[in-house]
A and B are shown apart, each in its own frame.
Chain A
Amino acid sequence: MPYKIAVILDKSRIERIRGTPVEKEVKDLYGGYLKVIELTVPDEIAQRILKEFPRARIDARGFIEETPVAFKRELFEVIVKLKSTGPEVFGELLKPDRLGKIKETAAKEDEYLPPPNVAYCG
């Protein structure tokens, strides 16, 4: 069964896909408050992702979530590079050298993620 994975687009990411075929695939979520690209993930690729990243899970919507931030960032970079959201994106993303780099960055993520700069209103 195919699953999905979503990449969130902030302003800078939207700029980077502007004018490419990927721009047409941008979806509004929650009344347009969020912009995302959704990719279909074939079953065998989904199983591979779950195996490579043990914390990743399929949520109730059938989306692969809780992958490392580094994985999502690299996924976006591959989308930009290939100007595509097709299955070839995962072929590129899961190449050993790229995957190794993702895992190396992801290992550090488990210890530290920089907090955003917002004020506590307590």
Chain B
Amino acid sequence: MSLKIQTPPPHGGKLVDLVIRDIDKAVSMAAGAVEFDIRPTRSIIDGSPIRNVYREVMSIAYGFFSPLEGFMTRNEVESVLKERRLLSGWLFPFPIIFDITEDELRKLNVKEGDRLLLRLKGQPFAILDIEEVWRFNPKDIADRTFGTPERNPEVVRRRFDEKHPGWLIYRSMGGVALAGKVHVINEPIFKDPYNRFWYPPAKSREEIQRRGWRTVIAHQTRNVPHTGHEHLMKNAAFMGDIEPCHGILVNAIIGAKRLGDFVDEAILEGHEAISKYGYISPRRHMVTMTLWDMRYGNPLESLLHGIIRQNMGCTHHMFGRDHAAVGDYYDPYSTQILWERGIPSFGLTAPPYDLDKGLKIRPVNIKEFWYCPKCGEIAYSDTCGHADVAQRFSGSFIRGLIAEGIEPPPIIFRPEVYRVIVKWWRVYNYPFVNRRYLELKERELEVDLKPMEVSSRR
């Protein structure tokens, strides 16, 4: 058997493509459907937008979530919650639910077998063929999605609550689910700068092939990169097969963010600056994005990341400390526990690559990089013997510097990346996500839609 690693197949064997590109076909599919204007999920605590289901429609239809083809039925959600598998048996970490309220259901007056026309920004966007209408208790789904210390003692350290943004998304849902297959019938047009980073799985695989990359390591991001991230990328990429990985694919999660996070535009262009200014050669680096309102589910989120990036054609995925985590709900190394030995209490009795209908992407579990004043360099935590004096990187610390108007020193933050932050700071009068940005982002979204005439039902 050759030691050379090849591009893995999509999760489930085949990339999902549920985008209708023929306008006549799209119009005829929408004919007679009942209209529904997509609206954001708003926090039950303060009413701020925390999710827009259009991002899930996009990620399903363009194949990021392959083999998932639509919103889940009750049985499928139960299967996911019990053993993190779709009804087809393929691993999948999160319930994907199209939720509405009882009041909306009454107004829509739809049932199994009906077709819903989903409108976005006032235009036809997608259709949902209703296979099942079912009801759920949002708090129960939220608790079971993320786990509890009693049920999942391997990784859950404390009970989830409304301070956890992912738990809050499920907790704030409407309680009625419309399950069924979706099709995008009016392809959204990405605005600048998002358009430069839109590589759905089929296009990403083409690009990887065009660049001649046989091995590609994925880097998950929801942050503007500091040099700790850069060292993680550079060093993790040494893990390839007979040579280091040919490519580093940065995949930013774009969607509703927490207050205080960097804005999406700065995240994308900040990563772009890393190769634009040669800190990682552009021959070896590409920046992409996925639409998803992060659930911050640490090990579970890492499973979704593995699925997305395998679908995009990556052979490896780097996972660091506190992967996609917020607060101290999970053990900081939960993701690494999953990818090293599995989490039986979530139904994952072995690592995702050793399970039937599991993943083919290879994890590269990395601890952390820190600045060591004794070594006088940025060092890997398991290699450097000076833990007592090590100075760790902290995104929060860097955000604090930036807020105080202090340019972070180049050893922890590239000046060109800082200038990207300042560029968007001037646009929004604020360097981070605040309530105004959240509302603006919700209103404007990342996309526009072309007008489309259809004979739907109101």
Using a CB–CB cutoff of 8 Å, the interface residues on chain A facing chain B are: 6, 8, 10, 28-31, 33-34, 55, 57, 59-61, 63, 65-67, 69, 72-73, 109-116, 118-122
Contact = CB atoms under 8 A, between A and B. Distances in A.
Contact of B400 (A29, A72, A119): A72
Given A112-B430, A113-B430, A30 B411 contact: yes
Which one of B396, B405, B410 has the highest number of Cβ atoms from chain A below 10 Å of its Cβ? B396
A94 B148 CA distance: 35
22 contacts: A8-B406, A30-B411, A31-B373, A31-B411, A33-B412, A55-B260, A59-B397, A60-B321, A65-B400, A66-B400, A67-B400, A69-B403, A69-B404, A109-B403, A113-B403, A113-B405, A113-B425, A113-B430, A113-B431, A118-B422, A120-B419, A120-B422
Given A67-B400, A111-B434, A116-B405, 9 more contacts: A30-B409, A31-B371, A55-B259, A55-B260, A57-B327, A60-B322, A112-B430, A113-B403, A113-B429
B443 interface: no
A122 B391 contact: no
A111 B416 CA distance: 25
A28 B371 CA distance: 12
B39 to A, nearest CB: 25
Contacts of B412: 30, 33
Given A118-B419, A120-B422, A31 B376 contact: yes
Given A60-B332, A65-B397, A121-B419, A30 B391 contact: yes
A65 B431 contact: no
Given A66-B399, A112-B430, A61 B394 contact: yes
Interface of B: 259-260, 269, 321-322, 327, 332, 371, 373, 376, 391-392, 394-397, 399-401, 403-407, 409-412, 415-416, 418-420, 422-423, 425-426, 429-431, 434-436
Nearest to A32: B373
Nearest to B404: A69
A111 B419 contact: no
Nearest to B399: A66
Nearest to B435: A110
A113 B391 CA distance: 28
A30 B397 contact: no
B332 A115 contact: no
Contacts of A61: 392, 394, 397
Nearest to A9: B406
A73 B327 CA distance: 26
A60 B430 contact: no
Contacts of B392: 60-61
Contacts of B405: 113-114, 116
A120 B416 CA distance: 8
Contacts of A34: 401, 409
